[in-house]
Amino acid sequence: MSSLFISCGQKDHKLDKSIYPLELRKEWPEIDIPVNNPMSIASVEFGKQLFFDRRLSVDSTVSCANCHKSEFGFADATPLSVGVKGRLGFRNSGSLTNVAYLPYFNRDGGVRTLDRFSLVPIEDHDEMNLNLLVMRDRFSEDQSYIDQAKVIYNRRPDAFAISRALASYLRTFISDNSPYDKYVYGGDSTALNENQKRGYDLFFGNKAKCSTCHTGINLTNYQFENNGLYANYNGKDRGRQRVTDNPDDEGKFRVANLRNIALTAPYMHDGSLPDLESVLDHYGNHGSNHAMKNSIIDQIIITDSEKQDLISFLEALTDIEFIQSSKFKRTIPIKF
């Protein structure tokens, strides 16, 4: 174990470069950790400080945690989140639950690596709007950040170091202890109540057909699909088409990760459905007609009481232990 003490302002601070003990359920695959960004106790701790640091925005008003709040499953409770200077983005905030397992990021798959992901919100005009060189210069006046970047990455606190440390921290957002997990992986047949069990059977069954798309440990097959939200995308977010420029991708979005879904209202890429009732009504009514809508949506058959059972099942995906974990609580004073 390599650890050393560095001086942070008045008090000594220990930087522990030993491997971060990431605990995953034994049935779950390992997560991909790039060789040039080993996950250490020190890199995770550095990422955590950054996650809550408002200096990552141009006017030091907005941190990552502004739009990714633990009580909302690390999403936000508004349809569109507010960035610097009251600017509205164009998508509903993403939940960070199990983000380490995603093969690509954002609902259109526009970002390929978690290690560079954070540069997107930092630079985005409507989110944090901070130039990366300004960021480096700003943090080059912070002795603690200088020391941490030096010890962990042997660099200045620049875009490389900052985005890698944030990625290390994001990889700790593992949620695997919801009632659903206890039922499926923990072998606890009492973890779901009767409504939730009925909802479970419906979700994975052939009438509601949810698991055609929502499958695997995060209840998503990570494909891009049009689930019939709009008939016409003129003037609207075209989803995957923005990335590929292919008209066949119009209105297609990554099948949503449903972990902690009961906490992340409102729903869909633009937050246009306020609650789970309206999501189930959307599927029960087969959504709008669109040439690219996946035909499975038209085959979904659910009664009103089955909708309630499905909602009960979705509530069983809430992992209270995860959202209340001290790993995700700010432990350092707010930095300006």
Binding to ligand HEC (CB under 6 A) within 33-72 occurs at 56, 62, 64, 66-68
Q: How far from chain centre, in Å, is Cα 39?
A: 19
Per CB under 6 A, the segment of 5-13, 38-46, 118-126, 129-137 that binds ligand HEC is 118-126
Q: Does 174 bind ligand HEC (CB under 6 A)?
A: no
Q: What is the C-alpha separation between 335 and 143, in angstroms, rounded?
A: 13
Among candidate residues 271, 267, 269, 288, the one with its CA nearest the CA of residue 279: 267
Amino acid present at 231: A
Nearer to ligand HEC, 6 or 104 (CB): 104
Q: Which of 102, 151, 152, 316 binds ligand HEC (CB under 6 A)?
A: 102
Nearer to ligand HEC, 105 or 139 (CB): 105
Q: What is the C-alpha separation between 127 and 247, in angstroms, rounded?
A: 28
Among candidate residues 168, 174, 202, 222, the one with its CA nearest the CA of residue 306: 202
Q: Does 300 bind ligand HEC (CB under 6 A)?
A: yes
Nearer to ligand HEC, 6 or 120 (CB): 120
Q: Does 73 bind ligand HEC (CB under 6 A)?
A: no
Q: What is the C-alpha separation between 274 and 264, in angstroms, rounded?
A: 10
Binding to ligand HEC (CB under 6 A) within 154-173 occurs at 166, 170
> CB of residue 135 vs ligand HEC: minimum separation in angstroms?
10
Per CB under 6 A, the segment of 1-9, 19-27, 186-194, 254-262 that binds ligand HEC is 254-262
Specify whether the CB–CB gap between 60 and 86 falls below 8 A: no
Backbone φ/ψ region at 231: left (φ over 0), alpha (ψ -120 to 50), beta: alpha
Residue 291 main-chain phi, psi, to 5 deg: -55, -30
Specify whether the CB–CB gap between 277 and 267 falls below 8 A: no
> CB of residue 114 vs ligand HEC: minimum separation in angstroms?
6
308 exposed, middle or buried (CB, 10 Å; 0-12, 13-18, 19+)?
Answer: middle
Chain residues that interact with ligand HEC, rule: CB under 6 A: 56, 62, 64, 66-68, 81, 83, 89, 91, 93-94, 96, 99, 102, 105-108, 117-118, 121-122, 127-128, 166, 170, 208-210, 212-214, 225, 227, 229, 253, 255-256, 258, 261, 264, 267-269, 279, 283, 294, 296-297, 300, 310
